[in-house]
Chain A
Amino acid sequence: MAAARPRTIFLVFLAIALQGFGGVLPFARRALVDRRAWLTPDDFNETLSLCQSLPGPNIVNLSIAVGARACGWRGSLAAVAGLVGAPVVIVITLGVLYGQFGGLQLVQRAIIGLAAAAAGLVTATAARMAEPLLKRRALTAAPFILGGFVAVGVFRLPLPYVLLVLAPLSIAIMWKRSA
């Protein structure tokens, strides 16, 4: 990708973050691939799939990768600061406002509606993530989707232990299949 200065990287990711209501990824693709041409479409997909197989929010990982390739750790730092800084200030402000006015009846009424819709949003996200896996390889995917859901969602078992059991098993199966 073309060389870019930390300042430019910071500003590009700041703009991406502020546009990203209800999902930052589409805006990131538009800015990085279409407008800045820092990544080709193939680079974007490949980098994203690398970022998706690592822990942490995809988009934050993507900013680390783009920044690192442009100018090392300073690029990564600039990208993350741009992406994270403003939303954190905004959400803390909203939190403080909620703390001040959250007791008001009107605010509480709005929040219970908002919370119900937010729960629906996550349900749809889960369904959308499940769909391609179930279409392509239901036999190897479904047991782990169900296992993760029952263990963590229904029985509320601690996440680290559940991951320690399910992830290696699932990875081993995919490894055997590819070998």
Chain B
Amino acid sequence: MSLAWPILRALAVQFSLLSLLAFGGANAVIPEIHRQSVAIHHWMTDKDFAALFAIAQSAPGPNFLISTLVGWKAAGIPGALVATAAMCSPSCLLTFWAVKAWDRHHDHPWRTAIGAGIAPVTVGLVFSSAYVLVRAADSSWRLGLVTAVTAAIVYFTKLNPLWCLAAAALLGLTGVFGTP
């Protein structure tokens, strides 16, 4: 397979920028990843995106794996590696530098203000992600019910969410949600 340089470049630029905007982790930038890869670059459909997100959620590890899968869908394995590296490197370098600075100057009031100020914006972005995913995934009332029940279980109980994902996949196998 030949390397698709323009796509790799687009992935590198897009995910390095998102890396520095991902306050609160990858969940905060899902709507932007979705907008770029579905609406702007047409690397995949809305349904593909929902499927890839579901696969990323059911794998172990940190939650930025959706960027790995978007890179893979856009440009194969090289795309997956470029997207992953781009999503990690800028924020890692920034954190490395910040930790050094933090250990030198403890207890600066600006840090508390930045942390407290960014928090509610981040929450709004995670709600946006939920909204984008619900619109992509819930094409019938039955699927909407699965989303609602999962949300309630995860919100109100300490059950490992993986059980909900497994149960929903098994229910899907029986065909109650139809076949796309």
Contact = CB atoms under 8 A, between A and B. Distances in A.
State the majority secondary structure of interface residues on A.
Answer: helix
Interface residues of B, number: 113
Contacts of B164: 117, 120-121
Interface in A149-166: 149, 151-154, 156, 158-160, 163, 166
Contacts of B111: 50, 53
A102 interface: yes
A60 B91 contact: yes
A152 B125 contact: yes
A51 B120 CA distance: 16
B123 interface: yes
A121 B55 contact: no
Nearest to B161: A22
Contacts of B52: 95, 98
Contacts of B179: 105, 108-109
Nearest to B100: A68
Contact of B121 (A21, A56, A163, A178): A163
Contacts of B72: 92, 95-96
Interface string A103-127: 0011011111111111111111111
A113 B88 contact: no
B22 A114 contact: no
Contacts of A2: none
A102 to B, nearest CB: 7
B117 A173 contact: yes
A69 B130 CA distance: 35
Contacts of A83: 61-62
Interface in A1-51: 17-24, 49-51
A159 to B, nearest CB: 4
A117 B96 CA distance: 35
Interface of A: 17-24, 49-61, 64-65, 68-69, 73, 76, 80, 83-84, 86-88, 90-92, 94-96, 98, 102, 105-106, 108-130, 133, 140-149, 151-154, 156, 158-160, 163, 166-167, 170-175, 178-179
